[in-house]
Structure 1
Amino acid sequence: MPTVSRPYALTFTRPLSDQDWAHALRVLRYIKAYHYVSENGLPDTMRDIILACPPPSPLLPSLRILSFTFTEALSDESMIDLLASPTVHRLVLKDNATFTADNVDHILQRCPHVKEIHLSSLSPTMPTTILIQAFFDLRTLTRASLDLRLTDPYAMHVVVAALGLNRSLTSLTLYESSDAPPPSWILALRAPGDLKASSALLDGQPVFPALRHLTFHRVLVPFACIFMNMWGGPRKIESFTFKDLRHTIPSGAMQCLIDHIGARCAPTTLKDLRIQLGLSKEWCIRACHIQPLAGHRALQTLRIRATTHIGLGADEYRALECWWPDIAVLI
């Protein structure tokens, strides 16, 4: 019978010394990806021994991917100081509702060449000022994903606006969890110029100039429309995904969303558009709903799942094929 190898366990019998690290670092330089969760990672005693005599340089000097989950353990901040490295290109930071990663700016200073960041926070009081400054300092970022639970709607807008000033960002995923759009968002939807003028961060600067791929999860239609209004003009979006299975929306909201997509996504670049919502029985999709997309002749995939009824006949489908000669997936 084949033998089953046993996992190796690391046990400390004495405090660490600088000489111990000299050998360890020769081996640790081969680690390219690391996922750290303090609850099921290093035992507290082992972590304390490491922190009592930290290595003289980054613990993982060749690390490319770092995923770090913060918990109630206060030593987490010290541990990420050891793990963060200038070589990190993909950074995943998660926290819970009782312990917040409020040193994001410091973490990013230790990972100045990050190209991809995924930030998930369950805390309603995530320190947005620190987060905004951290985004200002990024120069190499191309992909970002934000899953925040901020209770202040204006704070969320400012955080997104700060990220929008990054000129290299090509892919953005936004999550949102509130169940009702705040009144300020509704007002901003009616007067997008006022919203843009109200943010001192923008100061007339173009936002998301390089954005190509945009995904919304659990985001309400008003927020998505405001987000697109903030651009001030079309962007060369190639793929657009809007997904919220929690809610159904009326036909007017669907029309508003598609109107904004048609106006804010450059007609020569949009190839993939997917809208997936809770299925409504109150209305059906008709050609008039997607008329604003007629000029987007590069479309190859158009998927809309928002209602149990599709009011398109053979004549309408033939017209749609004329709009989009390269279409492969339709409705």
Structure 2
Amino acid sequence: MKGLNFSVTRPHSNLDMACAVESVVSKLPQTKGMEFRWKVRSMLEKSESSRPNMTTKELKAVKSLRLNKEIRILRADKGNCTVVLDESEYKDKLNTLLESGVYETLPKDPTAKVESKVQKLLSKYKTTLPTDLKHRLTPYHSKPPHLYGLPKIHKAGIPLRPIVSSIGCPCLALASFLRKILSPFAGKFDSFVKNSAHFVQLLKTVNLHSEDTLVSFDVVSLITNVPVDEVLHIIEKKLHDDVTLAERSVLQVGAIMELLEVCLRTTYFQVDDKFFQQKDGMAMGNSLSPIVSNIFMEHSEKLALD
């Protein structure tokens, strides 16, 4: 049984390998460089061609599926299943999401504007940020985030869960950088459960009785419903109160908050040739969204219990 995680063996290219090696060897001293080239050449001469891990029929079937524009092959939102939908049905479900009132249409692609904003903010702190870090965080030739949907096969009517792919977008590297700064603020409550394995371990420490009942409360669309203004205030206070902040960031609280706000408020995306923006909350797919959502929920829990 082969699923979406199955990797097809690809034939290796000696030319690609040689080019990759040369880019590294050129930085070595001449003698060591020549020695390294000979070792790589010897290795390539002895290497055998990769054996395919799929039969001819399977390869033909995969090619046929790839070229079939009338279907959409997707990973299910939950359950580690593969779902095949008619392309027309997928588009209808996606349009239902876009017309739900959560999003608004944009007149044009805002990518260049967002990229410029991030660049200017990072330049503002160029004397504080190390040069190599500033270079890694600064976006160039950015692409707009793209929206796609994962089928919720456990729900009636199989609706789609909206996911925004942020690969190549202006805030990608910056969001990852900020996530590390915020990481100590989440998962500190006794009620925090990391995953099902962690939950099982917690249950082993609890004395259960036959009359006990397990209750689960689900926040509907948590990430897209987190109030950005409120969570920014929560995080700003946590940053000011954090005596260890300087150990993981050279930036002051004000600078972190400026950069964080840009990332959290960048909720636009592209579908086909149209552009949309989420009206409220944070984007599904933003690497900051899960940790910021946890910070908000833990803060809300503390207010409720105190």
TM-score (norm 1): 0.18
Structure (1/2) with the larger helix percentage:
2
Structure scoring higher RCO (CA < 8 A, sep ≥ 6) equals: 2
TM-score (norm 2): 0.19
